[in-house]
Amino acid sequence: MRLGSVNYETRGKVALLTLDEPHKLNALSPGIRQGILEGLGKADADDAIRVVVITGNGDKAFCAGADISNFELEADKGRKFLAMALDVLAAPERCSKPVISAVNGLAYGGGFELAIASDFIVASERAQFAVPEIKLGLLPGFAIVRLADMVGRAKAKELSILGDPISADEAARLGLVLRVVPHDRLMADVMEFADRIASKPKLAVRMAKSFYNRGLGGDEMRHALDGFPLLFMHGDAREGISAFLEKRKARFED
């Protein structure tokens, strides 16, 4: 079944969502965003489904982040875009069932954020992770309210302020990734893990996720929504996005 630009299938008690715009590195297009929301909603409502797996089609990318080709750099439109993006990126947290991200390649920006919103990340040895929004004069709206709790304040600042990618092994060392597996074993390993979770008592698994995720989605999300649109008004954002689209080095203000 196709939901937007996401392929939805069931394998026993596991729902598999495959982001399917490999020609765009599975960036968060309207079709991908629609498919994520509809797919997670469908899996959550299906009593036969115990676990959800998200992955990307192709060997290059899990999800390369936002599609910035049509960004409108106005504060009000920036706030609306961020509200929409946060709704999608936080969807794995809201899902009552465990969500596993099988990261098969690049997980940048929104793709990184979608992965860390999942309960578990299992990564291919080829995977890379980054929040490169700083290079556009922006910041990651979701990761900036989650990373410090995951990797510590100093490392979260480094990742967000430099925007440089890290390897799957480094992500595992930081505790972002549960484990790294050979690329050609990724889906087999993930499905085996998902089946093991699916075999456990349903209510206890749901309660475990609920208890560990308590407190997520509160004031920190509202602060991000209120504060981040100001970045869209600054000249650095206009320069950063223009430079990216024109494939040149950005010249930020001194």
Is 113 a residue of the active site? yes
120: three-class secondary structure by DSSP: strand
Specify the 3-state DSSP secondary structure of 6. strand
Smallest CA-to-CA distance from 128 within 150, 147, 111 is with 111
> Which one from 93, 133, 192, 253 is the annotated catalytic residue?
133
Residue with tokens 């860390």: 116
Among the listed residues 113, 192, 220, 239, the single catalytic one is 113
Nearest-angstrom CA–CA distance, 83 and 91 = 12
Identify whether 125 is a catalytic site residue: no
Residue 55 CB partners (closer than 8 Å, separation 6+): 16, 17, 18, 19, 62, 101, 102, 103, 104, 186, 187, 190
Catalytic residues: 113, 133
